[in-house]
Structure 1
Amino acid sequence: MPICGYMTSVCGVLLSLWGIIQLLLMGVLFYIESPAFIDDLPIGEHYDTEEDYLLDVHRGFRANAFNCLIGACLYIVTLVFSTWQFYVNQKTTFQV
């Protein structure tokens, strides 16, 4: 049973593949605590000690890495759905 059209399913497959690649890469970079992503951390502006700041930075990196991996998993679900729709639409297109 087709839910979306042929071209929509192709677009969904391509966008899902790109989203998986991007979010997995970002998740790995957050996990290894790449300094390029320091501005994307949910941290405060003032800390009493350096240890508190570093603890909050480490927690922020881990939380963002986890969130990126969750997003990649959601893109995998979208990829499976779009691929299924692609094959359903391909079957109905060639039936005479």
Structure 2
Amino acid sequence: MRGLICGPKLAACGIVLSTWGVIMLAMLGIFFSTHSAVLLEDVPVTDDSIHQDGNPDRIYNLYNKVGYNCFIAAAIYVLFGAFSCCQMKLNKQKEYLVH
């Protein structure tokens, strides 16, 4: 069967992992975009630069960049999930042709 790369169990695992990745990263992207204070430790900033000029716009821009990166990673997981669904479909076709 042309295009078949992985078996049915690996394809199912890919679907589960990609579903979880999309949910988790989309939620993280939303929380970073809304500047959640709980996620301040995950923003790439040093302690000295937080209190440097008192302007929160620089921190908010870092929050937005991290949130944007989370949305990009979620989109990559969507592509991986679509690939896994195609592999699952090809495995079903192969099983149908054999019987």
What is the TM-score of this pair, normalised by structure 2? 0.89
Report the equivalent of 2:64.
Answer: 62
- Of 46, 51, 55, the match for 1:44: 46
Would you say 1:20 and 2:34 are equivalent positions?
A: no
Q: Aligned partner of 2:32: which letter?
A: F
Q: Provide, for residues 12-60 of structure 1, a one-character-per-residue CA deviation record: whole Å limited to 9, x for no partner.
A: 0010000000000000000111111000011122133212xx2221111
4+ long deviations beyond 4 Å: none
Would you say 1:3 and 2:25 are equivalent positions?
A: no
CA distance in 1, matches of 2:28, 2:48: 27
What is the aligned-residue RMSD (CA, Å)? 1.0
* Aligned residue pairs, count: 94
Q: Provide, for residues 47-92 of structure 1, a one-character-per-residue CA deviation record: whole Å limited to 9, x for no partner.
A: 33212xx222111100010000000000011011000000000110
Contact 1:24 1:72 in 2 (8 A): yes
